[in-house]
Structure formats: structure tokens, C-alpha cells
Amino acid sequence: MTGCRTRSMSCIGQLWSYETPKVIVVKNRRLGTIYRLLQLLIIVYFVWYVFVVQKGYQAQETGPESAVITKVKGVSTSKGPRGIKKIWDVAEYVKPPEGGSVFTIITRIESTKLQTMGTCPESRTVPNALCVSDEDCNRGEMHILGNGEQTGRCIIAGRGSLRTCEIFAWCPLEDETAISESLQDYVQNFTILIKNNIHFPQFGFSKGNIEDQGFLRNCTYHPVLSPSCPIFTVGFIVSEAGANFTELAKKGGIIGVIINWNCNLDLHPSKCRPEYSFRRLDLQNKISSGYNYRFAKYYNNNGTETRTLIKVYGIRIDVIVHGQAGKFSLIPTIINLATALTSIGVGSVLCDWILLTFMNKDHTYSLRKFDEVWKLEDGTTTAVTTVSSLQESSCIPGSPCTFDEPVYKDKGPAMEFTIIQDRLGQEHRDGILPPPGS
């Protein structure tokens, strides 16, 4: 019972202990070289990467407020039915015409003219459209991939004996009479003006990509010769995005114009300039490739509502703006400096592990590394007892020790402590220290 109580008191006593590092100078060239190399690597990392590359002394803001205005210039032609030539200007081939950050330049159309509301055979490409008799067609049924509402009749579809269900829809259907027209001959020479203004609210900084209006009259963007010009040709954008223009004009596609603002506000505002890059955004696969959409033009033909259905293939341009700005701030500077100074201590931890794991074969270092210190009071005298690990002491717990054998002897430049076993025995008897082996 007494032993259990003693152990409990010993465990409780550990709660009020305090640990402090003990400085030991180890004269080992290999370990010293490793330690200095680790310190050098940590210093280089913080100086070069954190402060120079990442600008750790600056407050950062990402995602600027942005406004984009676009204008397309150019004229193209196409050949319609019977070789009739048609002129296409900006009002016709740019959709939508507002000049926003997302717009489409039409490169090819398929038009179905003179469509009116009436009955006609369903397209043979629609699932379950083929029939043999009227019993195969359900009146009022509409297929999600179909073109209209079934009337319940099975009729001949075009030439031959193939029969499909009759539908009530805009007739004739698109697949039967569509006429294709291409504008691609001149589209590569079209120019696109991109006006972009950004604002970083945290720093109250605003900037635009157009600084000199007179410069716009005769400039075209080039990454080396004219990197500040915001006027791009369609052919250049397609080429930089790694796309084939002929294929893109035929099937359509989506290209992103990425504008990146990386501004160091510690420098002059003129140093804050946008960088442009181009990338094709739509995935190219056999199942669904390209970009197209449909719209219709309605008119009245002799009192009958008539429309022209137009399927458009084009190059969709998405202008995407990214950016970040940085400016000197005391708070991140102090935080990163404190982190750097703290990280230098990592070298000591690693070297301690190497020292005690790989270089401590005879426990030479561990005996000096870890000590326990008690403050003893006997009357008016205060003594400090330093007890090393059991491996350093010749006393075995539970066995008597000679009175003239020192338990620990540590010599320093200013003091020397020699604690004799009879003093320890006296303290054990007085109950100040726990008995050996407890």
C-alpha cells in the first residue's frame, strides 16, 4: 500500500516539473557539417523562395474586380443556293452583339427556310419513328429527341417505301432541306479588340490594358514585338490555342483568352501589365465535338407565320481574367521572419536525433543530455542536487552505496558540484527524496 502511494505521489509530482534545454557542445566534424548545411538550406529557402519568389513581405489580394468589353471588325462572304454570294458583316456573324466577355463568331450555318406549322413525316433518325401501319404510331405522343407531336398516322417518308409516323411540327424538317454556307475564307483576318479594366479594392488600385488610344490605330498583338496591344486576329488566337482553323470553322469550338494581372504595387503602376495566353476549352471527342446552336428568324408570308431555322457553327471566345496584387505590409513580414528564425531550430532537432540514434553506441551523449535536478532544503541550507541517468551512477536501485562514492560530478567553467552519496542517503532518510527504486 505504501509503495502504491509512493508511486502515485511520484506521478503527481511529475505534473509540476519543468523541462529546459541543456546546452552540450559536441566536437564532431561530421555532425557539425550537417548542422551548418541544414541551417544554410533553411536560410536560403526563406530568403530566396519565401521573400524573393513568393514575396512574403507583402500583403496579397487575388481575384480582382474586372470588366471586359470586346469589339470585332471584319467582313466575310458566303455562297448560298445557286452560287448566290452573300456579304456578312459584324451585325450578322457576332452573337450576341453586346460585346461582352463571351461571344461567338459564326463560321458556318445550315439554314432550313420556309418552315410553317403543319404535318410531315418524322425524321428516320428519331428512335421509334419507323412504322409499318397506323397502329405503330400513338396519337399525341412526343419523343424527347423528336421534332413534334405524332398524329397517329404512318406515312411514307420522302422517296422510297420507308415509312415513319406523321407529326405536327415546323415543316419541312431541318434534316431534309438544310442548306450549308461557310464564312471561313476571311474569318482568320478578323480582329478582336479586348478592353479590360481591373480593380483591387484592398489596395484601392485600378488599371486598364489600354494606355494610349493612338497606339491602337496601327497595332496588332504580338508576344514579343507588341505585347501591350489588345487587338488580336482570330487566326493568331486559334493558332496559339493549338487548334486547326479549318476543322474549327467546320465544327465549331471554344477558345479561352486568359488575361493574367500580376501586379507588384511597390513598383510604379506602369509596371503592372497584363499577360495574355490562349487555350482551347472544349473537349475533343468522337461523341460530342465542336460547338453549335440554333436560332430562328420569323416573318409573315402571305398571312402565314413562317420561319427560317438556322443552325450555327462558330468559334466561341471566352475572355477569362485572373490576377493578384501585392504590397509591402509589416504583419506578413514579421510573421515570416519569426517563422524563419523558428525553423532554424529544426536543424538542432534533426542533429539531436542523429546524435542519439546513430552516434550514441556507448551512451556517451545520452548520459550528458538528460539530467534531473531537485531543490533540497535542510534547515537554513539550500543545496542543488543533480542526478544523471542510472547508467552514469554506479549505484544500483535498491542496493547500498558507499558513502565516499560520488553519484554525479559535473565540471563547468564557473562552478563544480560534487554530491556525495551520504548526502543522498540523509535526504532519503529525511523523506525529502523518494527512496531508491520507488
Binding site members for ATP: 71-73, 191, 292-294, 311
**How many H helices and E strands in the chain?**
11, 20
Which three-class secondary structure state does DSSP give residue 113? Answer: strand
187: closest CA among 249, 125, 277, 257? 249
Instruction: For residue 425, give the C-alpha cell.
Output: 542517503
Q: Which has the closest alpha carbon to 289: 297, 277, 280, 276?
A: 280
Are 167 and 122 in contact by the 8 Å Cβ rule? The answer is yes
Q: Diameter of the chain by CA atoms?
A: 130
Cell matching residue 287: 461523341
DSSP structure class, residue 226: B
- Among the listed residues 414, 396, 394, 413, the one whose alpha carbon sits nearest the alpha carbon of residue 404: 394
Question: Residue 130 carries which DSSP code?
Answer: B
DSSP category for residue 218: G
> How distant, in Å, are the alpha carbons of 172, 174, 178, 399, 418 from that of 309?
10, 7, 9, 106, 105
Which of 307, 275, 321 minimizes the C-alpha distance to 66? 321
Q: What are phi and psi of 346, to 5 degrees?
A: -60, -30
133: helix, coil or strand?
A: coil
Nearest to 203 by CA among 279, 138, 267, 135: 267
Distance CA 165, CA 119 (A): 10
- In this structure, are residues 80 and 111 in contact, taking their beta carbons and an 8 Å threshold? no
CA distance 240 to 98: 26
Give binding residues as ranges: 71-73, 191, 292-294, 311
Amino acid at 367: L
Three cell numbers written together for 238: 486559334
First vs last C-alpha separation in the chain: 13
Q: By the 8 A CB rule, do 195 and 216 touch?
A: no
